[in-house]
Copies of this chain bind each other. A is one copy, B any other.
């Protein structure tokens, strides 16, 4: 049984978060999903309802997988030292680190992506890039795998990235079943990025 520490903060993007978690929740004997926040107060996602944390940073718990969503809330969290120091520590322990969309900006600010290739939302790329010049930012990628660190493109790209993580941890059949149960046609190629704004083809 692996634990997933799935971070929430005010203004996180709902599909960034609940898309990947939808894929992992199909395997309750393999993964335990825990919403982790700075405090135990409910936090409101961008444009939607409040979500209640299961754990807070001060618990000192460690997680086997880490999930960091994006959303407009990342603009504030990028300057939140409590968030950044927790992410650095949690990512150091975790066997798999995942971000969706502008969640990679937080990992970059925390130093987790130093020296690694990584990607992010295409429409916030300039802001994300400005958060760290130690990251090899990839403008054309559905998601990027760099050892234990998976960063995905915007919003729905987290669905495809999470299936790649499932394939690595539980095998391709399990990942295929997760997609099937969600009636989702996955993009299986991390280099197939229909939303890149770069001029390359």
Residues of A bordering B, CB below 8 Å: 6, 8, 13-15, 17-19, 21-22, 24-26, 28, 33-35, 42, 45-54, 121-123, 153-157, 159, 180-185, 187, 194-195
- DSSP class of A's interface residues: helix, strand, loop or mixed? loop
Q: Quick check: B52 and A33 within 8 Å, CB to CB?
A: no
Closest to A184 in B: B156
Q: Which residues of B contact A183 (CB under 8 A)?
A: 121-122, 153-157, 194-195
A48 touches B25 (CB 8 A): yes
The residue in chain B whose Cβ has the minimal distance to the Cβ of A23 is B15
- In the assembled complex, which residues on chain B have CB atoms less than 8 Å from the CB atom of A6? 49
Extra contacts, 8 of them, besides A14-B18, A52-B52 (Cβ < 8 A), are A15-B19, A18-B19, A25-B48, A51-B51, A123-B181, A155-B181, A155-B183, A156-B183
Nearest chain B residue, comparing its CB with the CB of A36: B49
Q: How far is the CA of A35 from the CA of B49 in the complex (A)?
A: 6
- Nearest chain-B residue to A25 (Cβ)? B47
Contacts of A26 in B (CB 8 A): 47
Q: Which residue of B lies closest to A153 (CB)?
A: B183
